[in-house]
Chains A and B, each alone.
Chain A
């Protein structure tokens, strides 16, 4: 069974930093592209970032480009999101999601998410 467990969320002041982690199990992590998706309280889904299985290809939403950095450690079956220069509008539940296949990054398994609150 695929399991994705996020951690690292919390309360941070505007301009601060956080590093989110996603621990994966139940599938071949090193063969799977991975993604971060966020959902602000009471709002819809917003794609944040994607990283290929090797980490060679990385994509970001314009809203986080230059502030967030996605990475992975295939030896540890872990995905990360380094978030710098945080803003109030980054407040959301951040979820990691596994891609359906190498050729199709549909989000077929999701974690429950970790809440990031940016507030003074």
Chain B
């Protein structure tokens, strides 16, 4: 099973600041990595797939990068609605696995 480790667990930032979230895989997943956003009481939303492709309707301030074992989700300038929990997920191997999540909270 591929283990995805996200860091940091919590990121405390102010609106307008840049957020950088990390996801590290226990073995290479190529570019088969996605990022999801989840707000309290809501279903997750696909943000980025194949490491760097924005899903439909996702604002340009969200960007993904990386390949192999190290990946980054960047939010260029935090909007109030961006404070949420973010998960990475791989589809390189079965079972599909998620990281444990990074909470982006208001500083």
Contacts A61-B95, A62-B95 known; A104 to B49 CB distance under 8 Å? yes
A108 at the interface (CB under 8 A from B): yes
Tally A-B pairs: CB < 8 A: 59
B74-107 contact mask (Cβ, 8 Å, vs A): 1 or 0: 0000000000000101010011111111000000
A82 at the interface (CB under 8 A from B): no
Q: Give chain B nearest CB distance to A25 CB in angstroms.
A: 16
B23 at the interface (CB under 8 A from A): no
- Contact among B38, B50, B96, B100 with A47 in the assembled complex (CB-CB below 8 Å): B96
- Bound-state Cα–Cα, A108 to B44, Å: 9
- Bound-state Cα–Cα, A105 to B38, Å: 19
Report yes or no: B95 in contact with A104, Cβ–Cβ below 8 A.
Answer: no
Binds B, one of A7-15, A16-24, A70-78, A110-118: A110-118
- Bound-state Cα–Cα, A106 to B34, Å: 7
- Bound-state Cα–Cα, A107 to B97, Å: 12
B46 at the interface (CB under 8 A from A): yes
- Bound-state Cα–Cα, A59 to B100, Å: 21
B60 at the interface (CB under 8 A from A): no
A89 at the interface (CB under 8 A from B): no
Report yes or no: A104 in contact with B36, Cβ–Cβ below 8 A.
Answer: no
B1-26 contact mask (Cβ, 8 Å, vs A): 1 or 0: 10000000000000000000000000
- Contact among A35, A45, A100, A108 with B87 in the assembled complex (CB-CB below 8 Å): A45
- Report A-chain residues with C-beta under 8 Å of the C-beta of B96: 35, 47, 50, 59, 105
Report yes or no: A106 in contact with B91, Cβ–Cβ below 8 A.
Answer: yes
Q: Restricting to A85-107, which residues have a CB under 8 Å from any CB of B?
A: 95, 100, 104-107
- Contact among B36, B38, B46, B97 with A100 in the assembled complex (CB-CB below 8 Å): B46
Contacts A104-B49, A106-B46, A110-B44 known; A47 to B95 CB distance under 8 Å? yes
Complex A-B: 13 CB contacts under 8 Å: A35-B96, A37-B44, A45-B36, A45-B87, A47-B96, A62-B95, A104-B49, A105-B91, A106-B34, A107-B44, A107-B89, A110-B45, A112-B43
